[in-house]
Every structure is written in structure tokens, then in C-alpha cells.
Amino acid sequence: MTVSADPERLKRAAAESALTLVRSDMVLGLGTGSTIRHLLELLGEAIRSGRLARVVGVPTSEQTRSRARDAGIELVEFGAGVAPDLTIDGADEVSPSLDLIKGMGGALLREKMVAQASDRLVIIVDERKIVERLGTVSPLPVEVVGWGMHAHIGFLETLGALVSIREDATGGVVLSDNGNAFFDCRFPEGIDDPAELDRRLARRAGIVDTGLFLGMADEVLIASDAGVRTMTRGG
């Protein structure tokens, strides 16, 4: 595969394609990340031009909340009775069965909550995110309660992970919008059984959630230099 030298152009193309799925009056889950940034800009333009009306966004992070406000998108707080017609989000990896790794932008928990409440989840990526096996390109982010977090390291290592605590440029621990920390877990051979790994991580007290989004995406829009193609759940 020849990878494009211009990933921002591909992210924009994927976002343009996703925008064609948005209709007036929709409640729209708004994902997080650099690909979604393009979507927010394009959606804001469509609302300002009058092409789309009464679209209400449900942000999945404080970053998206702020970018959506800047773009002039009306927002509603996620909660009782808020069920997006469609959520559009990015991903760090996409497998052939449309399973995902997400969360390298730090927003996995809210992203998963909004996606689970949505009628439809559409993922937009550039071609670099497509993998044969999850875990081969991206680490798996694991969001943990800060208290006692080092107690998880040995447990994660027994699952085959090489573990690092996510830190910022000054060495401070990066915190999620929920005030939690992250382990980034590398699996040198990729993840053998994502569903089993997900189950084992979910049973561990103190682990809040993981970046494994299994069986959730309905469609993935993949931008490459050849154009945007769609992968759909079930073929």
C-alpha cells in the first residue's frame, strides 16, 4: 500500500464524505480528534450556509465541545433522553471486521457512551488506520482511576502488554476529561483475542474503560489518494 504524503487532505476527504450522511433535524454525536476537527469545520459551514438546519451536536470531549462552539454548532449535554441519530468519530485502528482501537486522543469513555446511545456509528479514517490485526500499529489505551493505578501494571503485563503511563511533554500524567489516567499498552504481536482481552480488562476494578470498540461501528469511511471507500458491518 502506498500511503499518502498528505494525511490532512485525506482526513478532510473522509469528513466531507461523512457530512453527506447528516440531515437537518438530526441529533449528532460528535467524536474527538484531528479527523473530527475537519468534520466540525465542515458542519459549521453547512449550518451557516443554511444547507443544514436544527442539527444538535452531542460532544464526546471538552476539546470537541470547544471546537463545535467555535464552529457555531448547537450542543446538548449527554444524558437522559439524548440518543443521537448518528455519531461520527475517528479511530486509531480499524480491523477487517470493523472492530476499533480508539482513545489515543484521550476521549474513549465519553466516545463509547455516546456511541452506545446512538442509532448508528460511522467512523472516518485515512487509510493508515486500517490493520489486519488490532494492536499492530497503535497501543491500546486503558483509562484507569488514578488511585492505586500502579497496581495494574503487573496485571496488564500478564496479558502480554508492554505498559507505559501516558505523560505530557513535561512528564506530567495526562488526565482524561473524567480526571482519570491512561496506560498505553503495546502488544508486540498485536492482540490475539480482542473480545477476551476486553472481558478480562472490564472485570478489573479500577480500570474504567478501554479503547477497544468491538462490534460497535456500522460503517467506516476510508480516505486514500484513490478516493473514499466504505466498509460496512457484515460486508
Q: Which residues are catalytic?
A: 111
Interface with ligand A5P (CB under 6 A), residue from 58, 108, 134, 217: 108
| d(C-alpha 73, C-alpha 180), whole Å | 28
35 binds ligand A5P (CB under 6 A): yes
Which lies closer to ligand A5P via its Cβ, residue 5 or residue 80? 5
Interface with ligand A5P (CB under 6 A), residue from 13, 17, 22, 32: 32
Interface with ligand A5P (CB under 6 A), residue from 43, 92, 94, 185: 92
Least distance between ligand A5P and beta carbon 73 (Å):
18
Which lies closer to ligand A5P via its Cβ, residue 57 or residue 105? 105
91 binds ligand A5P (CB under 6 A): yes
**Burial of 188 (C-beta count, 10 Å sphere; 0-12/13-18/19+):** exposed
104 binds ligand A5P (CB under 6 A): yes
Contacts with ligand A5P by CB under 6 A lie at 31-35, 89-92, 102-108, 111
